[in-house]
Amino acid sequence: MSRQIVLDTETTGLSPENGDRIIEIGCVELLNRKLSGNNLHFYVNPERDSEEGALKVHGISNEFLRDKPKFAAIAMELLDYLQGAELIIHNAPFDIGFLNKELERLRMGRMADHVSGVIDSLAMAKELFPGKRNSLDALCGRLEVDNSGRTLHGALLDAELLADVYINMTRGQNAFGLDDTPDNPTEIQADDMADIDLSAFHLPVLEANAAEREAHERALADLDKSTKGRTLWRKLEPVAA
């Protein structure tokens, strides 16, 4: 079973090397690309105040965080939850940098020691939509993900939105019903499959009209442009012809 965790953090500022700390962590679990509902969320006492610019982004006051647990108190629960999963993070170097610094303080290794890998959804979006804005808000608008409840950045809400965005960006990966393939396909025996005589059916062939063919060609041209000519179907067209 494929287990992925969509993760987001909020921080006191931009630089873990200069002492900025994590103040919020939001995690959303995907099992075989479907939301499981098994999410994890922490507010964290950073043991320092947030910078003014960061406060404007996340709106989480220093006073609110005073009685929250420190990272050391939640570290084991977080790592147990993340263990062996593949992480999906928007602008992953930023969040991973902060998480690595927190683990370094506790001598608990690095994130790479605990997870199977990291997908940077920002890098993925830049490949899919070159030259366009690829912030989380921009992607929500482009992919028709409802982000109307997002007035400030919040780790859990942003992770939930990113989960929808990621599923939309990678929709082709579960095409043709591959998610429904049994864990052990060899368990399906030939005797279990009924013979069907298709000669009893009339199967009409519906050809595309001129407008549909033109729309199809425009879509292929857009894909050719966005992939800088790396698509395969144009190379195969002469062979098919």
Positions annotated as catalytic residues are 153
What gap in Å lies between CA 126 and CA 142, rounded to an integer? 13
Residue among 13, 66, 79, 71 at smallest CA distance from 40: 79
Beta-strand ranges (E) seen in 101-174 are 117-120
What gap in Å lies between CA 137 and CA 222, rounded to an integer? 23
What gap in Å lies between CA 182 and CA 205, rounded to an integer? 32
- What stretches of 48-117 show up as alpha helix (H) in DSSP? 52-58, 62-65, 71-82, 92-106
Q: Are 169 and 161 in contact, with CB atoms under 8 Å apart? A: no
